[in-house]
Amino acid sequence: MSISALLTQSQTRLEATDERVLEFGSLVSSIDIIKDSNFQSPNAAKSKSRPTEEEEKDDLSRLTISQLNEKTNEITLNLGELNRLWIIKGLIQEIEISLDNSINEGQYDKDDLEGISTNLKSLSTKLQQIDDHWLIREQLNEQLVSFNQRLNDELLKLVSKFIIEDIESITFNQELKVREEYISFIEFERIAEEFTEYSNKPELKQVLNGLKFSWDKKILSQLITKKKYINIDIKESVFELSITDAFPGDQFFNEYYFRSIKNFITFINAFGNQNFKNYFANEISNNLSNTISENITKLHENNSKENIEELKNIVELSNRTNWSLSFTKSFSSSEKINEQLNYLYLDWVVDKYINELRKLFSSNEFDKLLQSLSVAKNDDDNWNNSWGSEEEEEEEEDAWDNEWDEDWGEEPKAKSKTPKNDNQLKISRVPEKVGEIIGKFHQETGPNTDDELLISCIISFSLLGYPSMGESFLLYNDLNHLGQILQKNRLSISAESNWSQQTIVYSNELFKILLSQHITEDNDDEFKEPIDLKNWFETLQKSQLSFTNFDKFKNSIIQFIEVINNWLINAIINLNEITESQSDKISKFIIYIQKITLDNLSLVNEPLTSIKSSNKLQQTYILINNHLKDIMEFFYQGELFDYKTDELIKVIESVFIKSDLRDNYIREIVEIRSIDE
């Protein structure tokens, strides 16, 4: 008898039993059940004439309404549990019958699998609803585990019937015929996925996932490594995939390669599993891209029309069957495939030379090239014109009036001019090597091919490989030099941008040092020379900045001194009041700054006049260290010309208390400046 006939017969018997139970229940009241001796305990016959407390509780006539309600609720819960157990018993019996009948007949059909899986899922749900205090629950759970294992084993057997693997072939039956009924692999997968979800048995899922890794290694990787071609034989719903030896070397790339890709895609399509497609998509796409790019010239030969047609077939097949191949996205249409192949080839060449640049910058050869320094030639240097010049150093007359401060001192003359060799700009051999790589790129692709992506990579790799601009100007020099070799202004712009960022770092360090001195604060602290400032400049002098680009280093020293002077001048101008103690500290700080200025300028052979803010700093010293009348004398002599009118008035008001004399002088300053304007 078939399982469906057994189920029908069992269903009929259950319905008849239900009718008899309902008929009997309609004739029995709750009082009849209570009085029936069959429902009394065995000790009832031996009870004493006086009822015990338990007997009083069992006597419903003695219970209150509240107690009766509790009793009713308890009975209802117990009846619910019994009903649940009755259903569980029915499910177990039905599952056992289905499993035994299918095993006896030797195989499961689709209805068997769906029925057993559905019942197992229901049984699992019902068992979760049983209270933990029921002793039978553990036995029922063991029974469920046993059923799950039996179904799991049968599903695994079916996998081996759907998919038959040999050493160099795979046969896939898209559907199986079981007892006059067909079950497709898609239906089988649905049942298997549902079963795995509620049974928590991962074996089946692991086996199905393992197929991808197996086929990748056994079939697809053989094509990718150019060892085998892939063939497919399709007979109705049976797909057989096999491999044969590929042509060696340069002969590998032909129509058989494209057909192999198409055959593999067709085989995977037969499963109707998107996860399979997603798994292989990236590997197939990359291999197509690399193989076609390597053989792009062959695709333009007259005898390659068949290859082009096969490529079109792959593009159309992958798009039609929902393969996410990034390679095919570059083809807007099959009609323009030649043009698009050229773009693909160019992308491949760019990637190839990016890798060549990456290898250079991460190799031992790069370190050797970086250490091999030479002097840049005058003819090639339009971005740092002053390097290696023979300008004569003019002696500077001291712009300060020694009468107002004998401690200021005269500017020391340059100790000795730095040898011309040390003043020259140093470059490494890296630009030469990089220029050769870019030259090879243009030889392969054409002189006008866009190389901006390569230039971006050169800049990025250089920032990682070179010493930082806080230690050396070698990166700055080489980027500028390479920009001239390649005629790429972008490289010079990058060099300037990176140095600008470094100067911001240096400026912030200077501001931190200056603020830490609290020079403009009115307190009783005595002036202490800011050793940190002196050490900062000494660290700069010890770096390779001066050696690698003397002129750039010299200009940077001047720039940093300007930063210090302007910060100090503006800080003084913005003070609302300058006390005598403040004036003393500020004066000493100005003298100290000027000493550092002269020391550093002497090292780079520059006069004090190269510092544009030096005169204004001198004038600041005059304003905070002289009487009002003396200041006006300096004003009449034109010594305070670097100060704007409002700045001059602001400092005078902060140094001197309000008086008629001060106000008269201020009006006089305004009138004279107004005439000059």
Distance CA 396, CA 399 (A): 8
Distance CA 273, CA 288 (A): 22
Q: What are phi and psi of 353, to 5 degrees?
A: -80, -25
Distance CA 213, CA 217 (A): 6
| pLDDT at res. 395 | 37
Element (H, E) at 577: none
**How many angstroms separate the most distant Cα atoms in the chain?**
138
Q: Tell me which DSSP letter residue 335 carries.
A: G
Distance CA 461, CA 433 (A): 14
| pLDDT at res. 259 | 94
Q: What are phi and psi of 451, to 5 degrees?
A: -120, 20
| pLDDT at res. 29 | 59
Quote the radius of gyration of the chain (alpha carbons, Å): 47
Q: Does residue 234 sit in helix, strand or coil?
A: strand
List CB contacts of 209: < 8 A, sequence separation 6 or more. none
Q: Tell me which DSSP letter residue 673 carries.
A: H
Dihedral sign computed on CA atoms, order 187, 160, 154, 102: positive
What angle do the packed helices 580-603 and 614-625 form, to 10 degrees? 160
CA 113 to chain centre: 45
CB 186 within 8 A of CB 140: no
Beta strands in 193-294 (DSSP E): 228-235, 238-245
List CB contacts of 640: < 8 A, sequence separation 6 or more. 619, 622, 623, 631, 634, 648
Q: 260-289 pLDDT, tens per residue?
A: 999 999 999 999 888 899 999 999 999 988
Element (H, E) at 400: none
Task: Please state whether beta strands 175-178 and 374-375 pair in parallel, antiparallel, or not at all (unpaired).
Answer: unpaired
CB 357 within 8 A of CB 434: yes
pTM for the whole structure: 0.57
| Residue owning tokens 């890709």 | 261
Q: Does residue 165 sit in helix, strand or coil?
A: strand
List CB contacts of 233: < 8 A, sequence separation 6 or more. 239, 240, 242
| pLDDT at res. 569 | 94
CB 373 within 8 A of CB 427: yes
Task: Please state whether beta strands 175-178 and 181-184 pair in parallel, antiparallel, or not at all (unpaired).
Answer: antiparallel
Name 176's bridge partners.
183
Residue type, 229: Y
Return the closest-CA partner of residue 113 out of 209, 183, 9, 201: 183
Element (H, E) at 183: strand 181-184
Q: What are phi and psi of 91, to 5 degrees?
A: -65, -45
| pLDDT at res. 207 | 87
Both tokens of residue 183? 């079950």
Torsion of CA 29, 30, 34, 37, to 10 degrees: 30
Helix, strand, coil in percent for the chain, rounding step 5 = 70, 5, 25
Distance CA 45, CA 39 (A): 12
Domain ranges for the chain:
203-329
Three-state secondary structure of 393-434: CCCCCCCCCCCCCCCCCCCCCCCCCCCHHHHCCEECCHHHHH
| pLDDT at res. 186 | 87
For the beta carbon of residue 121, count every other beta carbon within 10 angstroms.
Answer: 15
Angstrom CA distances, 180 to 112, 176, 467, stand at 13, 10, 78
Distance CA 125, CA 123 (A): 5
* pLDDT beneath 50, residues of the chain: 1-3, 44-49, 104, 106, 379-381, 385-421
| pLDDT at res. 127 | 72
| pLDDT at res. 81 | 67
Residue type, 24: F
| Residue owning tokens 């700093």 | 617
Per DSSP, the chain holds a count of helices (H) and strands (E) of: 28, 8
Beta strands in 252-382 (DSSP E): 374-375
Distance CA 387, CA 381 (A): 9
| Residue owning tokens 């019958």 | 97
Dihedral sign computed on CA atoms, order 78, 79, 80, 84: positive
Task: Please state whether beta strands 238-245 and 169-173 pair in parallel, antiparallel, or not at all (unpaired).
Answer: antiparallel
Name 171's bridge partners.
164, 240
Q: Buried b / exposed e across 361-381, counting CB within 10 Å, b at 16+?
A: beeeebeebbeeeeebeeeeb
